[in-house]
Chains A and B, each alone.
Chain A
């Protein structure tokens, strides 16, 4: 019996149609738009102005605080302007727009493919460097990695979990990294273990990726303290708290961070980025993005520079189908529809999903029949139907008592609702309002 998390969860169709496609390098875009907020926390402060010449990998925006991240130029060329662009969140954000000229990299970056196994830096130096290189969580939440590597005083990390679950349907970018960059991944895990001063790391992978499980298990056998844990397929296993529950059986208390139960979770994409940052001196300027969907003729996994417009990725994967309904940034469960094709790829973009018209649209909303399917599906043990009503009626104090802030926005409730109620829409609204009330109180 394979391990999985205890509460709730749903089983959407997997549809990993791009799983067999190896990572291709996308040609350089003519112009990139690099938002200064690609992470959770304070926006980065731009260091370049219009007309400046930048090299690939040069620091162009400095971290705006402890919980923030540096941003480096993904291309070489001339800064066209700093302006606001609509990003994947649907809001206008300040961004640095650069016109590409050639591809001249910063000299300090090692661009060779050679595997560097020796870890020269000490734990503190590793944490400092991940901050300098602008590494953030690449599973989608984009939490700055150096913050996660610095546990608060009095807390000790006992186990490092590497998230290779990729529970979202369609997405395969992490899967491909595990297959193609497995040796680098092992070194990356060693680096994280050194920074966190732990001697045990577990890679959690869902059972629908047997090739990745096989390859990493073979490699892990040679390493000390690293093991692979196959997991039963269930959404949202890639959620931090769900993964901790699945692997260790520990449950993170409400409102607390995973460090409370001695665990730290990093995505495989992040682990690979940490390897490149520490061993190759390469900042986070490119990432693997899956371009997929039923109408896409060549579903692919691309290695893309940050700031590339999503339209170019779709073009490279065969273009938009005729019956196109929605372009989604991320997976079908948690992703958000994009407002146009100029939206840039950011550090948190794991996939671009193109859905046909008939699959993309919401069914008409009907009345709640109190079937409690949403309650069974909620992996956090909440009552989504109640939270929705409370948000609708603006009963913020009651919503807070019903732990609305614990919601991880996985969308299992909306997915399972037979009346197609917009549960998550209202819960998100409630989370925003309650969060504001809590902040004002402190």
Chain B
């Protein structure tokens, strides 16, 4: 009987001793961690996509808590809702970032951009880019081997078999920028989603001279500069034979779209156009009536 008793007493004693040592150690080596980090991490989407520029949501939460001004920091996956919640927890002002979406700036479908040779190396855009100029005459356009699709963690991209080009599923895209980094030709860009998802952009990145670009692809930007002239808001610039629409200045008037001789400017999610000349006539009649 006494053996049992001694055993129990020893174990209890050891346990108590260990508890005291552990308690003292935890007091001595205590690391203070802001409890708000956990709270913020809780609201973040836990996608760990890196779209914010930090390695994972925990690191982003730490950065948010640490920063005095969080208006520059943004979680593209969570968007304004999540950032508002974070701002509430931290008592700081959240920045107003317009939601963005990935845009593939190439329209070199098999039809528009004839294949002049056939690639059969490893099926990866970066490998092809390290080997040669591509299957078409355009040395700027999409290779069509799907590195961007592979990079996407949100099922927001797929390769269109018919056109040979990647397509962004707008509803799934969180603008994390993984595809932008994956593309060896910098074709994909994050642009403002725009009101009602309406956007206008130059659907081409070819910097060749007009004739060369046109020969390689029917719908290439030839750098003619017509859109630059017609834009009333100075939102379009022309550099290296390539027009670029700055989404912060563009007011979506769509004048450039009609002006482009190669149809390389694309409008997305707009309602169908009214008959333009008729509308113009009506407008002039109206002003005439008013003047009378």
Query: A residues near B, CB below 8 A?
Result: 84, 86, 89-92, 336-337, 339-340, 361-362, 365, 422, 425-426, 428-429, 432
Residues 117-139 of B contacting A (Cβ, < 8 Å) = 117, 120-122, 126-127, 130-133, 139
- B interface, CB within 8 angstroms of A: 116-117, 120-122, 126-127, 130-133, 139, 208, 212
- Determine the main DSSP class of B at the interface with A: loop
Verify B127–A336 contact, CB threshold 8 A: no
CB neighbours (8 Å) of A336 from chain B are 131-132
Minimum CB distance partner of B129 in chain A = A429
Name 19 extra pairs, CB < 8 A, besides A84-B208, A339-B133, A428-B130: A84-B212, A89-B132, A90-B131, A90-B132, A91-B132, A91-B139, A92-B133, A92-B139, A339-B116, A339-B132, A361-B120, A362-B121, A425-B121, A425-B122, A426-B127, A428-B131, A429-B127, A429-B130, A432-B130
Question: Within 8 Å CB of B116, what residues of A?
Answer: 339-340
Q: Which of A92, A361, A425, A428 has the most chain B CB atoms inside 10 A of its CB? A: A425
Nearest A-chain residue to B211, judged by Cβ: A83
Report the Cα distance A293→B136, complex, angstroms.
Answer: 26
For the complex of A and B, the 9 pairs showing the least CB-CB separation, nearest first, are A90-B132, A422-B122, A429-B130, A425-B122, A339-B117, A91-B133, A425-B121, A425-B127, A432-B130
Given contacts A84-B212, A91-B139, A92-B139, contact A340 B117 (CB under 8 A): yes
**Interface pairs (22), CB distance under 8 Å:** A84-B208, A84-B212, A89-B132, A90-B131, A90-B132, A90-B133, A91-B132, A91-B139, A339-B116, A340-B117, A361-B120, A362-B120, A422-B121, A422-B122, A425-B121, A425-B127, A425-B130, A425-B131, A428-B130, A429-B126, A429-B130, A432-B130
Q: Could you say which residues of chain A place their CB within 8 Å of the CB of B132?
A: 89-91, 336, 339
- Which residue on chain B has the smallest CB distance to residue A325? B118
The minimal Cβ–Cβ distance linking B206 to chain A, given in whole angstroms, is 12
* Distance from B198 Cβ to chain A, minimum over Cβ atoms (Å): 36
Q: How far is the CB of B240 from chain A (nearest CB, A)?
A: 14
Residues of A within 8 Å of B212, CB to CB, are 84
Complex formed: what's the CA distance from A21 to B254 in Å?
A: 66
Q: Across the interface, which residues of A come within 8 angstroms of B127, CB to CB?
A: 422, 425-426, 428-429
Closest-CB distance, B166 to chain A (whole angstroms): 20
A86 to B139, CA, bound (A): 10
How many whole Å from B186's CB to the nearest CB in chain A?
Answer: 16
A160 CB to nearest chain B CB (Å): 34
Closest residue to A340 on the B side, CB-wise? B116
Contacts of B130 in A (CB 8 A): 425, 428-429, 432
Expressed in whole angstroms, the Cα–Cα distance for A294 and B240 within the complex equals 45
Q: How far is the CA of A426 from the CA of B123 in the complex (A)?
A: 10
Chain B residues within an 8 Å CB radius of A337: 117
